[in-house]
């Protein structure tokens, strides 16, 4: 759940090598998680004046993800490896460890993306024994790639390089035996090295990057989601919780409305902005409000496919108000107050520093989901319902109705025209 994005000289980034003919077959036959699906092909990367520009080559809320990260729509292929240590030898089989995550991880992405992401994992079903004891690698929360992770990664690559063609894969998962290191309830060590090259290259010339290390086991009824969270970093999403400490609302400004904030406990879905950024929404599913005056929009909840999913009102080239509907569904299991969720987001605030904030329609309340310590209760009743209003920075949002199908009618009003700079599409927003 911790992300480390590597910085390199001159911010050099480049995409993964395209899949090519294998020089050697993988150690295991491909085992796509879940049944084959017919992909929805109308999802698009963000474009237009509401596609806020980025300020970094790292993960961020920018609509356009920089080169070097893994693709996040279409068919995405993951290589899944298994690691243990001389002093923490695996107590179960690789297949048992794999079953903790698959097919659940792939099913989650398929549902959240409305069929626009077909995640296929290929496991190499054997434990790769490291040469040294666990403590020798210096693994801890916040540990950089140098030196421990580099040494660990080199041993992993060397162990499979003769039988695995890394060019076939978009990202790499390393599932560590859960008895190595402290329990996740004491120290969260899972981490992703995303975007920039790590400096380690496989035998076929592929940069070893967009790699997620999963340690220990999370608690709750959907612990597999730690891998959904970590892989989402490889897709370009930032941490929404404050990595520098804090508690309550100061720690989780989004709460259980996105798993980039809270990925423990019951399942929760991605914010609509993230679905747009990842290429899971069609152009007609996003309303961009640029001109002054009121606009009425009917929003369908994130938990059902189809319909308008997101309304965006840019405040500047790096800030916006977003409006979406949320209701209980297969992934949104803790929604106890269905309604309209309003957020403010900033592409110039880094990962782990609160780039997104949910507006609480019921400030001061104890919330409506108060039984699970993994859920921020104060934000559980954050959505606005009929008759309630939100206002900030020259933007007004009023919830005016709800139809029998659970769709919400919202009037969004921009009080001031955008600046001339905002009237132009964000740089790079037309990609994909």
Within-domain flag for 370: yes
Query: Does residue 234 sit in the same domain as residue 334?
Result: no
Rounded percentage of the chain residues whose pLDDT exceeds 70 = 85
pTM above 0.85, yes or no: yes
In the predicted structure, residue 205 carries a pLDDT above the cut 50: yes
pLDDT computed for residue 168 by the predictor = 98
Query: Does residue 169 sit in the same domain as residue 290?
Result: no
pLDDT computed for residue 423 by the predictor = 42
Within-domain flag for 248: no
Q: Which domain holds residue 76?
A: 2-242
pLDDT band at 199 (very low <50, low <70, confident <90, very high): very high
What does the pLDDT look like over 312-363, one tens digit per residue? Answer: 999 999 999 999 999 999 999 999 999 999 999 999 999 999 999 999 999 9
Within-domain flag for 6: yes
Query: Does residue 58 sit in the same domain as residue 131?
Result: yes
More confident residue, 246 or 432: 246
What does the pLDDT look like over 50-77, one tens digit per residue? Answer: 999 999 999 999 999 999 999 999 999 9
Within-domain flag for 424: no
What does the pLDDT look like over 291-310, one tens digit per residue? Answer: 999 999 999 999 999 999 99
Within-domain flag for 366: yes
Rounded percentage of the chain residues whose pLDDT exceeds 90 = 79
Query: Does residue 149 sit in the same domain as residue 21?
Result: yes
pLDDT computed for residue 8 by the predictor = 28
Query: Does residue 230 sit in the same domain as residue 343?
Result: no
In the predicted structure, residue 386 carries a pLDDT above the cut 90: yes
In the predicted structure, residue 28 carries a pLDDT above the cut 60: no
Q: Rounded mean pLDDT of 381-399?
A: 98
pLDDT computed for residue 419 by the predictor = 58
pLDDT computed for residue 45 by the predictor = 80
More confident residue, 135 or 246: 135
Within-domain flag for 260: no
In the predicted structure, residue 89 carries a pLDDT above the cut 90: yes
Query: Does residue 392 sit in the same domain as residue 286?
Result: yes
In the predicted structure, residue 21 carries a pLDDT above the cut 80: no
Most confident of 35-44, 165-174, 216-225: 165-174
Query: Does residue 123 sit in the same domain as residue 198?
Result: yes
Query: Does residue 285 sit in the same domain as residue 398?
Result: yes
In the predicted structure, residue 371 carries a pLDDT above the cut 80: yes
Query: Does residue 165 sit in the same domain as residue 226?
Result: yes
Query: Does residue 313 sit in the same domain as residue 373?
Result: yes
pLDDT computed for residue 2 by the predictor = 41
Query: Does residue 307 sit in the same domain as residue 364?
Result: yes
pLDDT band at 432 (very low <50, low <70, confident <90, very high): very low
What does the pLDDT look like over 210-253, one tens digit per residue? Answer: 999 999 999 888 999 999 999 999 999 999 999 876 544 458 99
Query: Does residue 203 sit in the same domain as residue 319?
Result: no
pLDDT computed for residue 33 by the predictor = 42
pLDDT computed for residue 138 by the predictor = 95
More confident residue, 289 or 33: 289
pLDDT computed for residue 347 by the predictor = 97
pLDDT band at 6 (very low <50, low <70, confident <90, very high): very low
Average pLDDT, the chain: 88
Lowest mean pLDDT among 6-20, 51-65, 109-123: 6-20
What is the 3-state secondary structure of the chain? CEEECCCCHHHCCCCCCCCCCCCCCCCCCCCCCCCCCCCCCCCCCCCCCCCCCCCCCCCCCCCCCCCCCCCCCEEEEEEEEEEEECCECCCCCHHHHHHCCCCHHHHHHHHHCCCCEEEEEEEEEEEEECCCCHHHHCCCCCCCHHHHHHHHHHHHHHHHCCCCCHHHCCEEEEEECCCCCCCCCCCCCCEEECCCCCCCECCCCCECCCEEEECCCCCCCCCCHHHHHHHHHHCCCCCCCCCCCCCHHHCCCCHHHCCCCCCCCCCCCCCHHHHHHCCCCCHHHEEECCCCEEEEEEECECCCCCCECEEEEECCCCEEEEEEEECCCCCCCCCCCCEEEEEEEECCCCCCCCCEEECCCCCCCCCCCCCCCCCCHHHCCCCECCCCEEEECCEEEEEEEECCCCCEEEEEEECCCCCCCCCCCCCCCCCC
Most confident of 240-244, 281-285, 382-386: 382-386
Within-domain flag for 8: yes
Residue after which a domain boundary falls, among 220, 242, 264: 242
Q: How many domains does the chain have?
A: 2
Within-domain flag for 195: yes
Q: Rounded mean pLDDT of 20-37?
A: 39
């Amino acid at each position: 759940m911790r992300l480390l994005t590597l910085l390199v000289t001159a911010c050099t980034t480049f995409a993964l090598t395209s899949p090519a003919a294998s020089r050697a077959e993988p150690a295991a036959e491909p085992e796509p998680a879940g049944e084959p699906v017919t992909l929805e092909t109308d999802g698009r990367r963000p474009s237009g004046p509401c596609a806020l520009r980025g300020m970094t080559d790292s993960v961020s809320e920018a609509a356009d993800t920089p080169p070097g990260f893994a693709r996040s729509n279409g068919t995405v292929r993951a290589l899944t490896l298994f690691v243990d240590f001389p002093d923490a030898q695996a107590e179960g089989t690789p297949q048992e460890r794999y079953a903790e995550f698959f097919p659940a991880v792939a099913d989650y992405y398929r549902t959240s993306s409305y069929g626009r992401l077909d995640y296929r994992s290929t496991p190499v079903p054997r434990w790769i024994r490291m040469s040294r004891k666990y403590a020798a690698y210096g693994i801890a929360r916040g540990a950089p790639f140098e030196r421990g992770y580099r040494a660990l990664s080199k041993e992993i690559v060397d162990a499979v390089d003769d039988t695995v063609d890394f060019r076939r894969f978009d990202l790499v998962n390393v599932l560590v035996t859960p008895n190595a290191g402290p329990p996740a309830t004491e120290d969260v060590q899972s981490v992703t090295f995303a975007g920039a090259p790590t400096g380690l290259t496989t035998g076929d010339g592929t940069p070893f990057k967009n790699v997620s290390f999963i340690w220990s086991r999370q608690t709750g009824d959907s612990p597999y989601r730690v891998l959904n969270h970590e892989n989402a970093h490889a897709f370009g999403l930032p941490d929404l919780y404050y990595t520098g400490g804090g508690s309550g609302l100061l720690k989780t400004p989004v709460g259980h409305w996105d798993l980039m904030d809270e990925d423990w406990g019951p399942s929760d879905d991605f914010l609509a902005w993230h679905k747009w950024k990842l290429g899971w929404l069609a152009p007609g599913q996003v309303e961009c409000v640029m001109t002054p005056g009121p606009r009425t929009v009917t929003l369908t909840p994130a938990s059902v496919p189809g319909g308008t999913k997101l309304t965006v009102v840019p405040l500047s080239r790096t800030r916006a108000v977003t409006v979406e509907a949320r209701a209980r569904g297969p992934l949104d299991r803790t929604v106890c107050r269905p309604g309209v969720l309003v957020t403010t987001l900033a592409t110039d605030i880094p990962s782990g520093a609160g780039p997104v904030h949910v507006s609480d329609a019921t400030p001061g309340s104890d919330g409506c989901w108060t039984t699970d310590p993994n859920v921020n209760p104060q934000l559980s009743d954050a959505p606005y319902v009929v008759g309630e209003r939100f206002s900030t920075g020259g933007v007004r949002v009023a919830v005016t109705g709800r139809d029998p199908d659970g769709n919400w009618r919202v009037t969004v009003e921009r009080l001031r025209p955008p600046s001339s700079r905002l009237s132009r599409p964000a740089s790079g927003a037309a990609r994909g």
